[in-house]
């Protein structure tokens, strides 16, 4: 989307992360539902190996309702049955665990780089706590 020749997406680079999670039965679905509910996220796209949600509010809702969270998109790519990192491969079975790749990117204009990175780090730690491998 463009607005007067400017991209609606900021020039701030996305934050990425990768971690291992337990994937027995439907535990991943329950973990994702908890994260979505607690962060009041909206699901943008979902399929069997990926999830994209938006956390935060557009400018008009922030202005009208006094909300302060600028929107951020969080994308999760779930990879099952792949080789786990060497540090974890001796302890974890690829059948019970999966790799989760995370990409967090700003949506709204007006993000300061330091503020976005602080919010993204907070979301990464929150995701890691929800998807913690037991």
80-105 pLDDT, tens digit each: 866 666 555 456 566 678 889 999 99
User: Encoding tokens for residue 112?
Assistant: 């300061």
**pLDDT attached to residue 73:** 93
CATH architecture of the domain with residue range 2-130: 2-Layer Sandwich (3.30)
Confidence band (pLDDT; 50, 70, 90) for 77?
A: very high
Instruction: Show the CA angle centred on residue 44, arms to residues 42 and 48, nearest 5°.
Output: 115
Query: How far apart are the C-alpha atoms of 98 and 6, rounded to whole Å?
Result: 39
pLDDT tens for 11-27 read 788 999 999 888 877 88
Phi, psi of 23, rounded to the nearest 5 degrees: -135, 50
Reduce the DSSP state of residue 29 to 3 states and report it.
helix
pTM: 0.77
Q: CA distances (Å), 47 to each of 40, 44, 51, 71, 75, in order?
A: 20, 11, 7, 22, 12
């Amino acid at each position: 989307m463009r607005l007067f020749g400017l991209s609606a997406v900021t020039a701030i680079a996305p934050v990425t992360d990768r971690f291992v999670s337990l994937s027995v039965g439907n535990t991943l679905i329950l973990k994702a539902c908890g994260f979505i509910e607690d962060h009041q996220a909206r699901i943008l796209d979902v399929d069997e190996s990926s999830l994209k949600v938006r956390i935060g509010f557009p400018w008009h809702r922030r202005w009208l309702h006094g909300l302060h969270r600028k929107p951020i998109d969080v994308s999760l790519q779930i990879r099952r049955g792949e080789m786990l990192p060497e540090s974890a491969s001796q302890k974890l079975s690829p059948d019970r665990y999966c790799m989760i790749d995370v990409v967090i990117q700003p949506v709204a204009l007006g993000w300061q780089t330091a503020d976005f990175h602080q919010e993204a780090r907070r979301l990464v730690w929150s995701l890691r706590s929800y998807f913690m491998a037991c």
